[in-house]
Each structure stands twice: as C-alpha cells, then as structure tokens.
Amino acid sequence: MDNLSDTLKKLKITAADRTDDSLEGCLDCLLQALTQNNMETSEKIQGSGILQVFASLLIPQSSCTAKVANVIAEIAKNEFMRIPCVDAGLISPLVQLLNSKDQEVLLQTGRALGNICYDSHEGRSAVDQAGGAQIVVDHLRSLCSKTDPASEKLLTVFCGMLMNYSNENDSLQAQLINMGVIPTLVKLLGIHCQNAALTEMCLVAFGNLAELESSKEQFASTNIAEELVKLFKKQIEHDKREMVFEVLAPLAENDAIKLQLVESGLVECLLEIVQQKVDSDKEEDIAELKTASDLMVLLLLGDESMQKLFEGGKGNVFQRVLSWIPSNNHQLQLAGALAIANFARNDGNCIHMVDNGIVEKLMDLLDRHVEDGNVTVQHAALSALRNLAIPVVNKAKMLSAGVTEAVLKFLKSEMPPVQFKLLGTLRMLIDAQAEAAEQLGKNVKLVERLVEWCEAKDHAGVMGESNRLLSALIRHSKSKDVIKTIVQSGGIKHLVTMATSEHVIMQNEALVALALIAALELGTAEKDLESAQLVQILHRLLADERSAPEIKYNSMVLICALMGSESLHKEVQDLAFLDVVSKLRSHENKSVAQQASLTEQRLAVES
C-alpha cells in the first residue's frame, strides 16, 4: 500500500507532463493493486484526489486511454465510488470516448459507464445528460451482425451497460424503447444464440424492458416469440430456463404475443416440462412445474390463443389440460381448473365442455377439497363452474348434475375469494330457473349466510354478490315462500340499501325484487320496509336528476305496489310524491313518461 501511495503521487506528476510511458507504468501498478484489494485501493484513490486527474487523461489520442477507462471500471464496482466518479466530471469524457474506433477503448469505456450506472441515480442521470445511451444503441445496431469474438465481447458489454442504465427506471426504459433498441436486441438474440454470455445479457435486457406496457407493441412486431421458444428448447439447465421464463411471463400478458408464442410451439414445451416434473419432489422441479403451468394458463387468457388451443374441444392441449384436474398434484389441479375457466369464455366452448362431462370432473375436484381444502383450487374450480353456467342451455344440465349441492358444501368457508365465486356460481345457475331459485330461496341456512355476507363491509365483492343473489332468488322464483324466508332472515333492509347502490344494474335488480315483495307479500315485509326507510329512498331516487330512466320507472312501479299498505301509503302521502312524479310526465324516455302518468293517477285517486 505504501507503494500505492508513491504510485498515486507519481501519477499526478506524470499526468501533468503527459509522458505516456511512465503513465502506463503507474496505471499498470494501479490495476494490479485493484486486482489484489479493490475496495482498499479505491478508497486510497478517492482520498488522493486523482479522480479529477483521470478526467484530463480520457483523451482519444492517448495510448493510455483504455487503461484509464479500465481503472475507472474497476473502482466503479464499489458503490461508494460511483458518485465521486460523477462529481469528478468523468462521465462526459467517457461518453465522448464512445465515438472511438479503438475496440479496447470502447470495451473499457462501456464497462466504466455500465459500472457507474449500476444502482446509481446520479450515474444514470449524468450518462443521460451526456447522451451516452443513443451512441451505445447505434453501436449495437452496427455491430449486431458481427460474430467475431471481439465484437461479441463488445456487444455483451454494451448490452450490460444499457441494462444497468435503465434497470427499474421507467423513463429511461421508455427512452431506450423510443430509440428502437428492442428490434436490435431481438436480432442480436437470433444471430448470437450460441454465445451464452451475450444471450444472457439480452434476456436480462428483455426482462427489464418487457415490464413496460409501451414495449409490448414493439416486441409484438418482432419475431421475439420464435427466438425465445427456439432458445427455450435448447436449454437443459434449470437456471437458464428460468431466465427465459422471466422474459416470457411479462411478454405473454400481450394478446398478440400470446398468439405468436402459441404458434411458435411454446405450449408443447410447457406440456413436456409438466410431464417431466410432475412426480419430482425436488424444489427446483416443483418451482418449474408451477412456472410452466402458470404460463400455460396465462396463454389461455387471450381469445385467439385460447380458441386456437381449444380446437373445438378435440385439441391435444385441451385434452392434456383436462387430465390435470384428476391429478394428485395441487399445482396441476389448480392450473387445470384455471385453464378450464379460461376455455369457458364463450358459449360454444362452454356447451361443448358441459356435454362432454367436464362438470363431473370439477365436482369431483371440489369434493376432494371440502375439508381443509386448498383455497386456490376451490376458487379456481368454482370460477370454472361459474363460467360454464353462463349459457342458458347449460343451466338445467348443471343443476341436474348436482352442481348446487356441490357448491353449497362451501357455504361455511371463511375465505372471501371462495365466498365470492360460490355466490357468482349460484347466481348464474338460477338465472331464469324458477324451480332451482325457489329451492335455494327456501334454504334457510343459505339465506342466513347471505344476510350475514351482505354486511361484509371489508369485502365489497362478497357484499355485492350476496345482495345480488338475494335479489335473484326473489326475481327468478317469484315465490311467496322465498320472500317469507328472506324476511324472517332479516334480508329486506339489505335489498333496500342495494337500491341506493352506485351500480345501476344492482339498483335495478333491487327495485324489481322489492316490487315483487310488495306485490306478493306486502303484509309480511311491511314493517321491515318501513324501518329501512324505503319510501324516503324512492323519493330521493325520483327527485335525483342523475337517476337512470329504468331506476325512475321501477321506483314508480314500486310506489304503486306499496299503496296496498296503510302505513307505507301514509308515508307516500306525507312526502308529496305527486310533485316529483308529475314533473316526470314530460321525461324524454317514453316508458318513464307513461309510468309517471299512471302513477300520478294512482296517487291522485288514493289521496
């Protein structure tokens, strides 16, 4: 280290004289010291004030320039040296050197800038202001097709530099995307796929850029899907495959790229991995099985990619996914159920699957998870059943297969995601199915649980679905017994509150259910309607100009139905409904105007 102090002193003197030979000796000595103990040597360099001297040594004409850049690259490996390098004014001369024709100078300069940018806001900012990124992108473009070792080494360093420059920085990533770096990197990957270091750098750069939404369109216009699948097929080691996976996942969020990946044969690779890893208990194999099956499900989220893989329900992929559901592996059960939920996104697919026995498979799966089951599997299987229940022709088939009984086993679940899907599935099943709606509506346990969930303020989804199911039970059954069960369980106040929802569809469902209650069982529900202040709410809905036409229409229908109750009738009279209703006779919506005239007549007669 004493020797180092002497070297630093000598360097200051020789730098002033610009004698290249003795300068070179000093720089070799520094590089040697950095190799032996980088941190301590860097501290000494910082303390000596030599950094400012380096700025004057970074000149294109000097034979020592590459070594000076190498020293800077080495010291910038230390976090504490990056800001001092910026403060010493090294960035601007380094960026100037990017215009050099000397490959060694370019290599060391790229390393120096890359290391200064690593995890350093100040470093990145200085390189940005000096315009360094554009020069490097241009270099990548011009060197892209060269496959000699020196050019590949330089390409690897430049890729690394851009990665450090833009890592986790949205605006700098966007800048690189605007410079058109993506097509260049994709081309690089295709040409240099035999070079492991360069391939790895490209992948990390992709991973960096792929998170940004604006990058996806650029990626979609290249042959990235084909290149990644080609690369993926070559990888034998787990770590290398993992790297490709990390790029595939964010890219596969884009529908156009999903389709490209499917067409490039990614699905076959994923199915093969699943087959290879399914029985392994090695941690890395379990992780890879999860990644592969998750990615498979993600590919099915695109309409075109999903339909291509469904192949009218005859496709090999669809059949393989079906075989995951009865497996003993929870991850595969989950992926299988999620995949079915994704296939079940149009009526044709749903009808085909129900006709071919998918419901029984899903019910068997649910059965295996009733007691202390896996919540994610329960949630996924219920999602699939809910989607399958959407086409009208499937409802009766699913009801007779016993889906409601299978679903009701999860009534005691305390997990909001499971509760949410359970409610949605039941609501889909009873849509226009009077008998099923009546049967469920008389199930006291179910109705009591619904009333309890209508108060789940921490879970808006569960609360909304519970209200909607309560209303659906009345609307589809039109049954007095159902209404009585709901009144006895304390459900009326929730339906009245639902009429004030911010969602018009929910308001409407509530008003229709309340009108049926008033028409069929007004005497039973009278007290609850009164204490829930229904009349005051209806007055507000009619007076509010923002209320949708159907809300105004159904509110007036309900007012007329409430006149059969003495106490509610009195409330209507006290609130001067006539004024509000008469104004609606000139409403632009014909149905509202007609209903206003009828309601006005009814109010006038009854008063």
pLDDT above 90: residue 532: yes
Q: What percent of the chain has pLDDT over 70?
A: 99
pLDDT for residue 17: 67
Q: What confidence tier does 93 reach under pLDDT thresholds 50, 70, 90?
A: very high
Whole-number Cα distances in Å, 385 to 368, 412, 463: 16, 19, 20
DSSP annotation string for 190-236: HHTTT-HHHHHHHHHHHHHHHTSHHHHHHHHTTTHHHHHHHHHHH--
pLDDT for residue 435: 95
Q: What angle do CA 303, 305, 311 make, to 5 degrees?
A: 100
pLDDT for residue 48: 87
Q: Is residue 154 part of a domain?
A: no
pLDDT for residue 433: 93
Q: Is residue 339 part of a domain?
A: yes
pLDDT above 80: residue 175: yes
Q: What confidence tier does 362 reach under pLDDT thresholds 50, 70, 90?
A: very high
Q: What confidence tier does 607 reach under pLDDT thresholds 50, 70, 90?
A: low
338 shares its domain with 416 = yes
Residue 236: CB atoms within 10 Å = 6
Q: Is residue 348 part of a domain?
A: yes
Could you give the count of Cα atoms lying within 13 Å of 588 in the half-sphere of its Cβ? 3
What's the rounded Cα separation, in Å, for the pair 393 and 295? 32
Q: Which of 606, 516, 598, 507 shows the shortest CA–CA distance to 564?
A: 606
pLDDT for residue 181: 94
415 shares its domain with 446 = no
Radius of gyration of the chain, Cα coordinates, nearest whole angstrom:
35
Whole-number Cα distances in Å, 79 to 8, 36, 58, 128, 158: 21, 18, 22, 19, 20
Number of domains in the chain: 4
5 shares its domain with 125 = yes
pLDDT above 80: residue 432: yes
DSSP for residue 59: -
Last residue of a domain, one of 403, 432, 461: 432
Residue pair 37/77 in contact (Cβ under 8 Å)? The answer is no
pLDDT for residue 230: 92
pLDDT for residue 15: 72
482 shares its domain with 599 = no
- The per-residue pLDDT for range 365-389, each reduced to its tens digit, is 999 998 878 899 999 999 999 999 9
Tokens of 517: 């209650």
Q: What is the mean pLDDT of the segment spanning 186-205? A: 91
Q: What is the mean pLDDT of the segment spanning 440-456? A: 95
The boundaries of the domain holding residue 377 are 303-432
Q: Is residue 175 part of a domain?
A: no
pLDDT for residue 424: 96
Coil vs helix vs strand at 296? helix
pLDDT above 70: residue 595: yes
400 shares its domain with 512 = no
4 shares its domain with 52 = yes
DSSP annotation string for 306-373: HHHHHGGGT-HHHHHHHHHTTSS-HHHHHHHHHHHHHHTTSHHHHHHHHHTTHHHHHHHHHHTTTTT-
- Write down the residue that tokens 């330089």 correspond to: 154
Q: What is the mean pLDDT of the segment spanning 495-524? A: 95
Residue 574: CB atoms within 10 Å = 11
362 shares its domain with 462 = no
22 shares its domain with 121 = yes
Chain-centre distance of CA 586, in angstroms? 48
The runs of H, that is alpha helices, within 431-501 are: 434-441, 444-453, 460-477, 480-488, 492-498
Last residue of a domain, one of 89, 110, 130: 130
CATH number of the domain that residue 58 is part of: 1.25.10.10
2 shares its domain with 123 = yes
352 shares its domain with 460 = no
Q: Is residue 151 part of a domain?
A: no
DSSP annotation string for 169-199: -HHHHHHHHHTTHHHHHHHHHHHTTT-HHHH
pLDDT for residue 2: 56
pTM value is 0.81
Q: Is residue 143 part of a domain?
A: no
Q: Is residue 359 part of a domain?
A: yes
pLDDT above 80: residue 338: yes
Last residue of a domain, one of 130, 164, 197: 130
What's the rounded Cα separation, in Å, for the pair 28 and 506? 77
What's the rounded Cα separation, in Å, for the pair 243 and 249? 10
428 shares its domain with 484 = no
Mean pLDDT of the chain: 92
- The per-residue pLDDT for range 35-67, each reduced to its tens digit, is 999 999 999 888 888 888 898 889 888 889 999
Report which of residues 408 and 63 the model is more confident about.
408
Q: Is residue 159 part of a domain?
A: no
Could you give the count of Cα atoms lying within 13 Å of 447 in the half-sphere of its Cβ? 26
Q: What confidence tier does 496 reach under pLDDT thresholds 50, 70, 90?
A: very high
470 shares its domain with 541 = no
